[in-house]
Chain A
Amino acid sequence: AQSVTQPDIHITVSEGASLELRCNYSYGATPYLFWYVQSPGQGLQLLLKYFSGDTLVQGIKGFEAEFKRSQSSFNLRKPSVHWSDAAEYFCAVGPTDSWGKLQFGAGTQVVVTP
């Protein structure tokens, strides 16, 4: 069965420290991959996406993600977090033969401490 897994429900990180959020997927072929961020009380905003090509993808707000085919992973990273990065982060995947339906992970809540 197709699935998207975010193993970490909750992560606490100090301001200025690095952040890595994990995402693993199980699909028949490499799907389209996305990371979204949801600030408190808001909708989801697209951070970055991967289709093909360079496996290191740059996004907005200083985030990047690396696609690793051998591990079926698409982990999100930021070298130095800011207090404003406190939010919930969602990984999403969609099969390349799909008309547009995405499957979302359960989300990772990030707390940033001073």
Chain B
Amino acid sequence: DVKVTQSSRYLVKRTGEKVFLECVQDMDHENMFWYRQDPGLGLRLIYFSYDVKMKEKGDIPEGYSVSREKKERFSLILESASTNQTSMYLCASSLTGVGYGYTFGSGTRLTVV
């Protein structure tokens, strides 16, 4: 079964820490995405990547960066975690072409204290 795997289901980090969220897909998908999900706000796109080493800002990139050194792996980095980054983070991947839709990981619930 094809998968998008997020390395952690739950994370608790301290304010100011550098945080890495990892996402791996085994479907040879070109596109990968990071979203954050907050109650009442739905899914908001943080960053996406359409190829190795390529990245584009989404709607809310401030305070985040990403890395895609290999096709299957897309990392989200919180340079200096803050409490307002407490959220559910969802990774997704897709083939090129909007008609394919996305495959999502199970999410990482991040709490910054």
Write the residues of chain A forming the contact surface with B, with a CB cutoff of 8 angstroms: 9, 31-32, 34, 36, 41-46, 49, 51, 90, 92, 94-96, 98-102, 104-107
Query: Looking at chain B, what size class is its interface with the partner chain?
Result: 20 to 34
Across the interface, A49 reaches (CB within 8 A) one of B40, B48, B101, namely: B101
Which chain B residues border A49 with CB–CB below 8 Å?
99, 101
Is the C-beta of B110 less than 8 angstroms from some C-beta in chain A? no
Q: Complex formed: what's the CA distance from A104 to B41 in Å?
A: 10
By secondary structure, the A interface counts as loop
Write the residues of chain B forming the contact surface with A, with a CB cutoff of 8 angstroms: 4, 30-31, 40-43, 45, 48, 50, 90, 92, 94-107, 109
Q: Which residue of A lies closest to B99 (CB)?
A: A32
Contact A51 B42 (CB under 8 A): no
Which chain A residues border B102 with CB–CB below 8 Å?
44, 46, 92, 102
Contact A32 B98 (CB under 8 A): yes
Q: Complex formed: what's the CA distance from A87 to B41 in Å?
A: 16
Contact B98 A95 (CB under 8 A): yes
**How many whole Å from A86's CB to the nearest CB in chain B?**
16
Contact A100 B43 (CB under 8 A): no
